[in-house]
Amino acid sequence: MSATPVNVTVTGAAGQIGYALLFRIASGHLLGPDTPVKLRLLEIPQGVKAAEGTAMELEDCAFPLLAGIDIFDDPTAGFEGANVALLVGARPRAKGMERGDLLEANGGIFGPQGQAINAGAAEDIKVLVVGNPANTNALIAQRNAPDVPADRFTAMTRLDHNRALSQLAGKTGAAVSEIKDLTIWGNHSATQYPDIFHATIGGKPASDLVDQAWLESDFIPTVAKRGAAIIEARGASSAASAANAAIDHVYDWVNGTSADSWTSAAIVSDGSYGVPEGLISSFPVRAKGGEWEIVQGLEVSDFSRGRIDASVAELVEERDAVQGLGLI
Binding residues for substrate: 93, 99, 132, 163
N-to-C CA span, the chain: 41
Q: Which does 239 bind (CB under 5 to 8 A by kind): ligand NAD, ligand LMR, none?
A: ligand NAD
Cα dihedral 105, 110, 115, 116, rounded to 10, equals 110
Q: Which does 186 bind (CB under 5 to 8 A by kind): ligand LMR, ligand NAD, none?
A: none
Number of neighbouring beta carbons within 10 Å of residue 163: 22
* Cα distance between residue 73 and residue 29, in whole Å: 26
Closest CA to 38 of 141, 122, 137, 139: 122
Any catalytic annotation for residue 188?
Answer: yes
CB of 8 to ligand NAD, least distance (A): 15
CB of 155 to ligand LMR, least distance (A): 11
Within 8 A by CB and 6+ apart from 21, the residues are: 10, 86, 88, 243, 246, 247
Q: Which residues bind ligand LMR (CB under 6 A)?
A: 92-93, 99, 132, 159, 227-228, 230, 237-238, 242
Q: Which does 15 bind (CB under 5 to 8 A by kind): ligand LMR, ligand NAD, none?
A: ligand NAD
* Cα distance between residue 176 and residue 193, in whole Å: 19
* Cα distance between residue 326 and residue 249, in whole Å: 30
- Nearest residue (CB) to ligand LMR, 83 versus 132: 132
CB of 325 to ligand LMR, least distance (A): 20
Q: Which does 47 bind (CB under 5 to 8 A by kind): ligand NAD, ligand LMR, none?
A: ligand NAD
* Cα distance between residue 155 and residue 85, in whole Å: 11
In order of 28, 66, 249, 287, 327, the CA distances from 31 in angstroms are 6, 12, 10, 14, 32
CB of 93 to ligand LMR, least distance (A): 4
Annotated active-site residue in 29, 161, 188, 249: 188
- Nearest residue (CB) to ligand LMR, 13 versus 69: 13
CB of 99 to ligand LMR, least distance (A): 5
Q: Which does 5 bind (CB under 5 to 8 A by kind): ligand NAD, ligand LMR, none?
A: none
Known binding residues for NAD(+) are 12-18, 106, 113, 130-132
- Nearest residue (CB) to ligand LMR, 83 versus 135: 135
Closest CA to 162 of 104, 230, 107: 230
Residue nearest to ligand NAD (CB): 15
- Nearest residue (CB) to ligand LMR, 21 versus 159: 159
Give, in degrees to the nearest 5, the angle at Cα 154 between 152 and 156.
155
Round the CA-based radius of gyration of the chain to a whole number and report it. 19
Contact of 29 with 251, CB cutoff 8 Å: yes
Give, in degrees to the nearest 5, the angle at Cα 212 between 134 and 266.
15
Known binding residues are 12-18, 93, 99, 106, 113, 130-132, 163
Q: Are strands 200-201 and 179-180 parallel, antiparallel or unpaired?
A: antiparallel
Q: Which residues bind ligand NAD (CB under 6 A)?
A: 11-12, 14-18, 42-44, 47, 88-90, 92-93, 109, 130-132, 134, 156, 159, 188, 237-239, 242
Q: Which does 230 bind (CB under 5 to 8 A by kind): ligand LMR, ligand NAD, none?
A: ligand LMR
CB of 21 to ligand LMR, least distance (A): 14
Residue nearest to ligand LMR (CB): 227
Q: Which residues are catalytic?
A: 188
